[in-house]
Amino acid sequence: MKRLLLLLGVAAALLAPAAASAHPLGNFTVNRFSRVEVAGHRLYVRYVLDLAEIPAFQARRDGVDAAAYARRIRRGLHLSVDGRPAGLTPVAHALAFPSGQGGLHTMRLEVILRGPAIAGPTRIRFRDTNYAGRIGWKEIVVGAGTRSASDELHAYPKDLLESPLDVTAVAAAVRPTHDAPPALSPGKALESRDRAVGDSGFVRLIATRHLSALTIAAALAVALFWGAAHALSPGHGKTIVTAYLVGRRGTPWHAALLGLIVTATHTVGVFALGLVTLALSQYVVPDTLYPWLDLVSGVLVAAIGLAVLRTRTVHARAHARGHDHDHGHPSRSLLAVGISGGLLPCPSALVVLLAAISLHRIAFGLLLIVAFSAGLALSIAAVGLAAVLARRVFARLSFLEGPFVRALPAASAFVILLAGVAMTARAIPRVR
């Protein structure tokens, strides 16, 4: 009976919707909203700060003083009235920590700031320079009744998640009104948020209440499953691995070795990024590292493509001269392919590591991350093995012999090269 309940629990972890919500813009984001409005003859700014799980974890670890945050926010806001700088004074603030992924919390801070009085129609300029180097939603509206696209960071539009708003300055004409001064959200509204994005079964495992041997075994199996499923999502170098093994005439052993390298690289990457998050966050923020990791991966892949293309060109020339010596077997570049596949740590794995630290379950968290990385590697190795076997099948088919089979390695090299160039071009604009 207990085993049946355990299996049902594993199935529920795999299939059931999440109880907690993931931040739709990503675990690293710092999101800001400002509403500039006039109440009577006075200007006000209603400011909302929404920290996703990882920056919220850092903030709570260092200690959160809402009043200090309000003063910091005030220093990053710049208001001018009819061309003259105007000051803002925090008059109210409220802080909440809604539930997020893996037992972690997000952070929501609301601040009401009072500005100068105006006598009549006035031109204003407003600029928000807070967290200028952090990725996230940036929105400014003018007027008490103006609609917010994100409902003041309560509900982000699904169609804008890939390209969030990036509004940090606004100029407008305002005039006195009969509106009441802005107020903080009620406690219930402050705590709630409509994320509309489910938490993964992987990150929910770390918050399991009772850890028996069977529970740990089941959790590791689920983590392995989620790692394999995650690897099948777009990215993770599956195309590159396939093209490489075809282009260099890889073997099943090479596919398995690639899986081992991906496991080691991804696990070490999560631990290293976790160390940066915990120890070096005041100097380096994790979201600035991701574009650099993307860039390194792109350059690695492009270099691999060039190396494979050069090898296949040399082999083709030797074949044309009657010296059919195949130098196309994988060498040290196999290590580079594996590293490029596991170099970019999954944000969910980093959330699990941080949650494990916050829940004092470090050993359990490390085991889950290793199992997740192993699942990711198994999927990539399986894709590579399928490519190796498919190439062998094609090589045996008489109607595909000749130019088609000989062209496969060179075509694969071009695929790798183009993928590397595309990855590099995509990463360069985001590096800062």
Per-residue model confidence as pLDDT tens digits over 168-214: 999 999 999 999 999 988 765 565 444 433 345 566 677 666 778 88
Same domain, 273 and 401: yes
Same domain, 163 and 206: no
CA distance 16 to 227: 17
Residue 73's pLDDT is 95
- The answer to whether residue 378 is domain-embedded is yes
**77-81/84-86 β-pairing:** antiparallel
Same domain, 180 and 298: no
CA distance 50 to 75: 18
Same domain, 208 and 128: no
Residue 111's pLDDT is 95
Same domain, 348 and 275: yes
- The answer to whether residue 12 is domain-embedded is no
Q: What is the pLDDT of residues 14-53, one digit of tens each?
A: 333 333 345 666 777 899 999 999 999 999 999 999 998 8
Same domain, 148 and 219: no
Contact 19, 195 (CB under 8 A): no
Same domain, 157 and 207: no
Same domain, 170 and 310: no
Q: Quote the pTM value.
A: 0.60
Helix axis angle for 286-320 and 333-342, nearest 10°, is 150
Place of tokens 């959200």: 185
- The answer to whether residue 53 is domain-embedded is yes
Which of 144, 164, 191 corresponds to the end of one domain?
Answer: 191
- The answer to whether residue 297 is domain-embedded is yes
User: Is 141 strand, coil or helix?
Assistant: strand
Same domain, 218 and 342: yes
CA-based nearest residue to 171, from 89, 81, 44: 81
Residue 290's pLDDT is 65
Number of domains observed in the structure of the chain = 2
- The answer to whether residue 3 is domain-embedded is no
Residue 75's pLDDT is 95
Contact 37, 124 (CB under 8 A): no
Same domain, 185 and 311: no
Residue 3's pLDDT is 44
- The answer to whether residue 277 is domain-embedded is yes
Q: Strand 138-142's sheet: what is its strand order?
A: 89-96, 107-117, 42-51, 30-39, 138-142
- The answer to whether residue 24 is domain-embedded is no
User: Is 112 strand, coil or helix?
Assistant: strand
Phi, psi of 370 (to 5 degrees): -65, -45
Same domain, 213 and 185: no
Domain that holds residue 125: 30-191
Same domain, 287 and 156: no
Which of 173, 191, 209 corresponds to the end of one domain?
Answer: 191
Token pair in block for residue 276: 């940066």
pLDDT < 50: residue spans in the chain: 1-21, 192-199, 327-329, 398-400
Residue 350's pLDDT is 72
Residue 315's pLDDT is 63
Which of 191, 216, 233 corresponds to the end of one domain?
Answer: 191
CA distance 312 to 155: 52
Token pair in block for residue 389: 């076997």
- The answer to whether residue 17 is domain-embedded is no
Residue 118's pLDDT is 92
CA distance 114 to 89: 5
Residue 286's pLDDT is 60
